[in-house]
Structure 1
Amino acid sequence: MLFVRWILRHPFTVMCCAIVIVLSIVGFASSTYDWGWQVLATGQEDVFRHHRWWGLITAFLAVDGGGALIFVVPFIVVVVGAAEQLMGSWRTAIAYVGGSAASGLIGFGLSWVESTYLGFLPLNAPSIEALSPATGVICAAMAASSFASALWRRRIRLGASFIAVTLFLYSGGAGDFYSLVAVPVGLVLGFALGGSRSKFRLIRSSHHEIRTLLAAVVALGSIGPVVAALIGSGSGLLSIYGLLAVDVDHPRTALIGLLPVAVGVVAAWGILRGRRAALWLAVCIQVMMSAVMLGVFVVIQPETMTAIAEQANEEVDPYIWQTLTGSALCAILPLASAALLILLRKHVDVRPSRASAKRFLVITLSALAGTALISFVGILSISDQFRPVPTALDILRALPLRLIPHTFVISDGLAFVPTTHWAHKVWSLPAGLFWAAVLTASCLLVLGRTAVIDDDDRVRARAILERGGGHTLSFMSTWPGNSFWFDEVSDAAVAYRVQGFVAVAVGGPFGPAFADPQVVERFVRFCGDHGWTPTFYGVDDATIETFAGLRWQRLKVAEEAVLRPRDWNPTGKKWQDIRTAVNKAGRAGVVAKWTSWRELSLLQRSQIQAISEAWVAEKNLPEMGFTLGGLDELVDSSVRLMLAIDAEGTIVAVTSWLPLYGTDDAGQPRVNGYTLDFMRRRTDAANGTMEFVIAAAVEQAKSDGLEILSLSGAPLANAAPESSTLDVRGSVVAQILDYVGRSLEPAYGFRSLLNFKKKFQPEFVPLWLLYPDTTDLPAVGAAIGRCYLPRLSVVQLSGLLRDLRPKPTQEAHREPAA
């Protein structure tokens, strides 16, 4: 049913795929069986001299083989299908067909100029025959980008341009040239068809755009040689990589050449995320590649110049010039890329930790020494299997070449070469070991820690917090594991945790200027400078307007139960359970005590520790962190405890309360309320004990004249159904979260906790997750999961997966154990 619905919504995509399949089969059969049909007469001569004008269209609606058809049809389904969804069927048809024809005409014209005036240096293969549906696909994608959101507009344009430039430089076929022309043609068509002409804007620092450019340059230089190697001998200016990356005699060892490529991709990813270490890694790779290609140029230059001299009295084969120019260009471009990276290094400013940098150096230098030793001993031990037989000095001189994949080393410039199978293994193995070690070290360096928490920052953040201003989660910002950003303009700060490349802020800003929207904007810019995706977790309705200027997506992640102590009056039928619990505790001799950790005796502390450890032992999963405190968070002198102590002096239940700082009528800082955090009871405690403890806390807050008492939020649980005004994406995500909440109920009991809080008749306030774009949600979700469970083991993860199975019968309205 879903497949049929997709077909009905994408008629042009379906028709395009059908035409490509039919024309490709007909064209292949016609050329094979000599039927004389000229359906695929697509070359420049066919179109202009023989007036087969249909070639301008059929050239972009067929491929030249079954293998290509297997890749092209899914490509059309994904890209053209997405374009049709963005701008409709008729616009997509115009963009694909009209854009292909326009690209072909322009491409033919430019090819004529090239062959007439630049014949000595062909930039791409001549347009004898060009079958390239990719041209129409890129046209449709570029046109559709004008109908996409700002975020996807940039992604589509960058992706299409990246593919087109890579194919042109490293392959250089006529179809690749048309695909390159299709980039501006599709862009113009998008504007002409009514697309948006607004400039791309993203709520991040402008540094991000520069990092994206640098990352694209590094990625292009890394992936391009792979494209050239797959093609073999192309006609692009950089296609010489294809000649160097192929080893017909030893194809498996040629895979070693992919390791430096992988290091380059890791470096590009790190640059995109602002990692300075990744930038210097990329610089080293570019310089090394330049040196290698310079060696290739030095080796082939005399032979090439000799061939040119021998053809002095006749027309020189232009591809001889292309070989010479291409090798020189391959040596110059990496050096230029390295210079560009160095000049713009200030935009990539996240330093690695000392531990990460030291680990990288240790691994790299150890691999360097180890592979050099292996190479020297290995070649020396079987030196008779090389020609000429090398001496120990010859081997030492050639050791730097052993770190380079052997396919990039021209044999004409070597002092000795292997002659047997085992000699070739010893010859190529060191490079593989070295680059595997460098790849491992690079991943650890780029993905390693970058922020070091300074105790001075924590003291400064605490001072800002206590000056007043914030929300019910603000005190959690003082917990270990948080980094701090301080606003240089106003008296405010943000606590955040970085997981992967996502910065998860604990609620919103705190401090006297916490409600200033510009504080949020400056923090978002700070995250952009460091290559992080910012997100705010646990924002309440009272401060949601502070974030309105971002125009971000939001998702309800919890319900916060809020009480007003001044209005506390547990009378009436709704309060029956609370009154019963209080009366039962009184008859049993259980009393409440409002205290702090420092005021407790050693025996009382040990009792609380025993209660907590017993609770943890019952769980298949560890205690959550982030916004859920444990024993470590009780020791703060500002955290208050409400204990239930039985007649024998034994603590049977404990709750902790985090202060909410505000100001009084005179503007002086004070504690305006508390937020419930830690909540544990003994396994043998009587039912109703926890209700008694919380009721006692509310009475205490009322007597102290406090304004608010939060029972905190219940993650993945809702007090009421989601509003029907949510869009489709929001509804789907909400359903997923609802499923996860039901599945995790046996493990953590969030919904039971929510039902327990309902007994106190609170005001339920939604807590929101704010994030830039829907596409960021998977990464944001994973980052929040790591914030809550940073040390989740494999065994515990398997337990979590078992708990994710629906168990509807286990969702009971029971008193929570936490």
Structure 2
Amino acid sequence: MAVVAVALVVTARMAHSEPDFPHHPPVACLALVAVVLTTVLAERSLGSIRTLVIGVGAPLLGVLATLLTVTIGSALGEAHAEFAVGQPLFAPSVVAAALLGAASAAVPAQRRWRTRAALWTVVLTLVLFAGHGSDLARALATLLGTAAGAWMVRRASRPQSRTTRVPARTVVVSALIALGAGTLVTPIVPDPDGVLSPFADAMPDRSVVVVGVLLLLAAWLVHRGRRTGIALAIGVLLTLTVVLADVFLIEPVKDDAVQWQGLGLDAIEWQVTLLGAWIVPAAVLLAVLLLRPRLVRARFRAAGARRDDLVEMLRDGDAGTLGHMGTWRGNATWTHPDGSGAVAYRVRGEVALAVSDPACATADRADVLAGFTAFCERNGWVPAFTSVHEPVRAILGAEGWTALPVGVECVLDVTTFDLRGKKRQDLRTASNRADREGVRDEWTTLDALDAGRRAEVEAICTRWAADRRLPEMGFTLGGFRELDDPDVRLMLAVDADGHVTAVTSWLPVHERGALTGYTLDVMRRGDDGMPGVMEFLIARTALRAREAGLTTISLSGTPLAAHAGARSLVVRGSVLLARVLEPVYGFRSLQRFKEKFGARHEPLWLVVPTPLHVPRVARALASAYVPGLRPKHLWALRQAHRAAADARAVAEARAAGAARS
């Protein structure tokens, strides 16, 4: 914090305002705040000594280099240099830009290129449109700070993250923002002298504002992959190019106003600048037209053509316990170009929701994740990895991604599982009751059932869903449709009369070509099912798995269950949401049920590129899990809460009456 204090005092004493905005004191205040924030960021990333060296050295060298350039240029008669003579060259934002450029070298690749893209968009916009001496000093200080930070990080032998290519969309969006923001800034900056400052002279003030706003709107729409944004950008850039060409090229040529003889260097330079003013928007327009296929968000089509390839990779690789969910209908499969792995996903809105861990070998996991991310960026989608385990979170976290807890998976080690001990009392009770009532377990598949037995299974599954006040959840939560798979096993409870009274389904888990266990998916109990029938079926499945030489069974994930490693605020949010949905989906009750089996907890994560993407990803997840959700269901949720409250009141009244009697 000592470095912060020194930087703040020095910058405050050396400059009371930003030269680009001398009549706007709040801008100077924001610049000082930026100095403090970037100093803190750089100090945490690079250390106090390095921060002090860069915070003083880079701005000082930038100012000296600018002063030297202005002196030499003015002596040679260069117009911009002559105009910059006597202008203040230092501003607090020079320090902030240098420190931010330096600190960007120490952050993961995802954050690094985003930070630098935003930083250089601002810096170059001010250089090209405002064109003051302080703008050139800021650009040089930013360049020096970025280079110094990169050198210091390499010198410290810190692990370098994967190189990230800047997508074409980012380049186009940055160019549109620069043109739009620069057009809006030019009328505000006193005596603009940038090479693009003539833009504002070619149009009335109102037109300048309209053009700037439309370019910024087009940038936002292009960033979202919208066709309307591309059409708007093309229209505005084409109009701007025509207007500038007419004002600064066609009319001067027609009026014989272009003269080359008898002019000094500065006059010739300005004439060339004006004659070529239309080239910049024309170049951006050409880039938009050429890159148009890569700017439009691709349409998603769920396809099962590659399902067999995915199943093969699931068997040969290590996709974790939830990998088989990627084979369900509604998902598509992306395969790595070299065939080293695959990712199952579905798109909602503009978000590509990957289904748990990628199907690949452990050694190829980082490459497959990077390949899928690049694939999403080319198609204009935001990649989001849902319900992934800790190894995937660690890889993406090292690249600067944001991880949010979404649940807990309960994994049971069947090699040590048995029904002995006080903690297994409920399981023994259920098993003994099943033996007394003649209920038996049946390990089978849906295809192996006769028509009557299949109808009973379907009736139990569909009746359970019909009794819910809200639509049945999907995406990574299966239903009857997902049972129709030869690789999915069923564990049925069959009573003494031969009728099915409960259904569980189990997804296969493979690791390096061998079947290692199963994952619980569907869990449905019929109206005539005995109490404890689910405990009975799961315990019998664990014992069968042990006899078959398998190692684990997963009781699947419990949505919104808090786990270690999550931030307290996120935990409170998950607990609150789970409490709201409890009367309908029973997530908290489900977690308490799973505790009976003594399984270990493994955290499940949602990993997104940045915190800014969380709202969009949340909407996409809601659409994927509950696609039929409507406003009317909010009223149904309210009614469910009332019914639950009434039931608790009745139970408490009965308990009180029993206590009095």
Q: Is the 8 A contact 2:17 2:91 kept in 1?
A: yes
Partner of 2:306: 457
Give deviations 1:743-769, integer Å, cap 9, x for gaps.
554453323212212222334444455
Larger gyration radius, structure 1 or structure 2: 1
Identify if the C-alpha distance between structure 1 residues 605 and 301 changes in structure 2 by more than 3 Å, giving closer, same or farther. farther
Give deviations 1:432-456, integer Å, cap 9, x for gaps.
xxxxxxxxxxxxxx44x43434332
Identify if the C-alpha distance between structure 1 residues 455 and 765 changes in structure 2 by more than 3 Å, giving closer, same or farther. closer
**In 2: Cα distance, 1:592 partner to 1:81 partner:** 64
Tell whether 2:524 aligns with 1:577.
no
- 1:165 paired residue among 119, 124, 130: 124
Partner of 1:70: 26
Residue 536 of structure 1: how far off its partner (Å): 4.5
**In 2: Cα distance, 1:533 partner to 1:622 partner:** 26
Residue 658 of structure 1: how far off its partner (Å): 1.6
Identify if the C-alpha distance between structure 1 residues 121 and 132 changes in structure 2 by more than 3 Å, giving closer, same or farther. closer
Aligned-residue RMSD, C-alpha = 4.9
Residue 466 of structure 1: how far off its partner (Å): 5.3
Tell whether 2:354 aligns with 1:518.
no
Q: Is the 8 A contact 1:238 1:330 kept in 2?
A: yes
- 2:517 paired residue among 670, 673, 696: 673
Partner of 1:105: 64
**In 1: Cα distance, 2:269 partner to 2:130 partner:** 17
Partner of 1:408: none
Residue 629 of structure 1: how far off its partner (Å): 0.9
Residue 232 of structure 1: how far off its partner (Å): 8.7
Identify if the C-alpha distance between structure 1 residues 758 and 195 changes in structure 2 by more than 3 Å, giving closer, same or farther. same
- 2:507 paired residue among 650, 654, 658: 658
Q: In structure 2, what residue type is equivalent to 1:748? A: Y
More moved, 677-686 vs 298-307: 298-307
After TM superposition, the structure 1 = structure 2 runs for residues 125-524 of structure 1, keeping only pairs within 5 Å, are: 127-128=86-87, 132-187=91-146, 190=149, 202-203=161-162, 206=165, 208=166, 212-228=170-186, 231=189, 234-247=192-205, 255=210, 258-267=213-222, 270=225, 286=237, 289-302=240-253, 306=257, 322=270, 324-338=271-285, 345=291, 446-447=296-297, 449-465=298-314, 470-489=319-338, 492-499=341-348, 503-510=352-359, 514-518=360-364, 520-524=366-370
How many residues are matched?
639
Tell whether 2:530 aligns with 1:692.
no
**In 2: Cα distance, 1:546 partner to 1:145 partner:** 20
Q: In structure 2, what residue type is equivalent to 1:528? A: A
**In 2: Cα distance, 1:263 partner to 1:81 partner:** 30
**In 1: Cα distance, 2:201 partner to 2:638 partner:** 49
Identify if the C-alpha distance between structure 1 residues 733 and 15 changes in structure 2 by more than 3 Å, giving closer, same or farther. farther
After TM superposition, the structure 1 = structure 2 runs for residues 606-645 of structure 1, keeping only pairs within 5 Å, are: 608-609=457-458, 611-616=460-465, 619=468, 621-645=470-494
Identify if the C-alpha distance between structure 1 residues 517 and 129 changes in structure 2 by more than 3 Å, giving closer, same or farther. closer
**In 2: Cα distance, 1:125 partner to 1:303 partner:** 33
Give deviations 1:18-58, integer Å, cap 9, x for gaps.
x74xx7xxxxxxxxxxxxxxxxxxxxxxxxxxxxxxxxx33
Give deviations 1:626-671, integer Å, cap 9, x for gaps.
22112221222332323335566664432222223468xxxxx675
Aligned residue for 2:246, secondary structure, equals: helix
Identify if the C-alpha distance between structure 1 residues 117 and 455 changes in structure 2 by more than 3 Å, giving closer, same or farther. same
**In 2: Cα distance, 1:118 partner to 1:461 partner:** 68
Q: Is the 8 A contact 2:176 2:216 kept in 1?
A: no
Identify if the C-alpha distance between structure 1 residues 277 and 755 changes in structure 2 by more than 3 Å, giving closer, same or farther. same
Residue 262 of structure 1: how far off its partner (Å): 1.8
Q: In structure 1, what residue type is equivalent to 2:280? A: L
Q: In structure 1, what residue type is equivalent to 2:428? A: R
Residue 484 of structure 1: how far off its partner (Å): 1.4
Tell whether 2:580 aligns with 1:757.
no
Aligned residue for 2:305, secondary structure, equals: helix
Structure 1's unaligned 5+ residue stretches are 1-6, 24-56, 352-445, 664-668, 812-818
Q: Is the 8 A contact 1:238 1:329 kept in 2?
A: no
**In 1: Cα distance, 2:527 partner to 2:188 partner:** 66
Partner of 1:58: 15
Partner of 2:656: none
Give deviations 1:539-593, integer Å, cap 9, x for gaps.
557x779959977776664433333556553233222211222333444554444
The TM-score, its normalising length taken from structure 2, stands at 0.78
Q: In structure 2, what residue type is equivalent to 1:177? A: L
Identify if the C-alpha distance between structure 1 residues 192 and 579 changes in structure 2 by more than 3 Å, giving closer, same or farther. closer
**In 1: Cα distance, 2:608 partner to 2:553 partner:** 28
Structure 2's unaligned 5+ residue stretches are 649-661
Q: Is the 8 A contact 2:8 2:35 kept in 1?
A: no
Q: In structure 2, what residue type is equivalent to 1:11? A: A
Aligned residue for 2:493, secondary structure, equals: strand
Identify if the C-alpha distance between structure 1 residues 200 and 183 changes in structure 2 by more than 3 Å, giving closer, same or farther. farther
Aligned residue for 1:456, secondary structure, equals: coil
Q: In structure 2, what residue type is equivalent to 1:106? A: A
**In 1: Cα distance, 2:546 partner to 2:364 partner:** 36
Identify if the C-alpha distance between structure 1 residues 483 and 298 changes in structure 2 by more than 3 Å, giving closer, same or farther. same
**In 2: Cα distance, 1:137 partner to 1:567 partner:** 59
Q: Is the 8 A contact 2:15 2:91 kept in 1?
A: no
Partner of 1:396: none
Aligned residue for 2:475, secondary structure, equals: coil
Identify if the C-alpha distance between structure 1 residues 797 and 168 changes in structure 2 by more than 3 Å, giving closer, same or farther. farther
Partner of 1:83: 39
Identify if the C-alpha distance between structure 1 residues 629 and 340 changes in structure 2 by more than 3 Å, giving closer, same or farther. same
The percent of aligned pairs where both chains have the same amino acid is 30
- 2:5 paired residue among 11, 26, 45: 11
**In 1: Cα distance, 2:317 partner to 2:254 partner:** 78
Residue 616 of structure 1: how far off its partner (Å): 4.1
The TM-score, its normalising length taken from structure 1, stands at 0.65
Identify if the C-alpha distance between structure 1 residues 108 and 493 changes in structure 2 by more than 3 Å, giving closer, same or farther. closer
Residue 678 of structure 1: how far off its partner (Å): 1.0
Aligned residue for 1:225, secondary structure, equals: helix
Residue 70 of structure 1: how far off its partner (Å): 1.7
Give deviations 1:342-364, integer Å, cap 9, x for gaps.
77x5xx8758xxxxxxxxxxxxx
Q: Is the 8 A contact 1:218 1:265 kept in 2?
A: no
Give deviations 1:57-84, integer Å, cap 9, x for gaps.
337678976x622233134324532322
Q: Is the 8 A contact 1:219 1:268 kept in 2?
A: no
Aligned residue for 1:570, secondary structure, equals: coil
Give deviations 1:85-129, integer Å, cap 9, x for gaps.
432677656655655454333333322333332445679655446
Q: In structure 2, what residue type is equivalent to 1:688? A: G
